[in-house]
Amino acid sequence: MEELVKQYMAPVAVGLAIGYLMQYVEPRSRVVHWFPAAFRFDIVPPEGGQTVTIWTHALTLQNIGWRAAASVEIVHSYKPHHFKIQPGVSFTEGTNPQNQHVIKIDSLARREWITIQILTAGAQLPSLVGVRSADGPSHVVNTRQHFVIPRARRLLFSVLSVIGFVTAVYWGGRFIARFAELLIG
């Protein structure tokens, strides 16, 4: 009886433990966002008068996780005068209990990204309060422009770097050996 318990209980216990731990390591969505551009224009109307300030702003979101992000919410302090989402996705607008503007997107597929272009006239840009999905809050990603180097050129550079390193080590070793030979005898 004891052998029967050991034979069946150990695999069952290990299976249950692995099953419990798998809920913490399963693939999830991971939404990140960044601000590619924001501009301020001071425009004088053609008929004269007071200068009007026009603000443009872009916010880009991307799901870099392994699963689709569900219930993505973009919350601004107040509703922008005009905004457009590219590429076009289905969304709903509303306000939350704090009277903040909420743009809700049902899902964002794996590796999918969207950009929200915002245009506001006369007032300050609505500040971004937060971006979140069903799996948690989004994180701001710092972006910068960089040159795109073709894969063949990168591979050639890597091979030449390895050859140069090996050559330097070889000749350095020979120099040290020759120097040690002169010192010792």
CATH architecture type of domain 31-140: Sandwich (2.60)
Least confident of 1-5, 72-76, 113-117: 1-5
Task: Give strand pairing partners of 83.
Answer: 118
pLDDT number for residue 135: 86
Cβ 87 vs Cβ 48: under 8 Å: no
- pLDDT by residue (tens digit) across 86-104? 988 889 999 999 999 999 9
* pTM higher than 0.75: no
- Average pLDDT for the chain: 86
Evaluate whether 106 touches 71 at the Cβ level (below 8 Å). Answer: yes
CA distance 90 to 79: 18
Residues 6+ apart with CB under 8 A from 104: 71, 72, 73, 74, 91, 92, 93, 94
pLDDT at 29 over 90: no
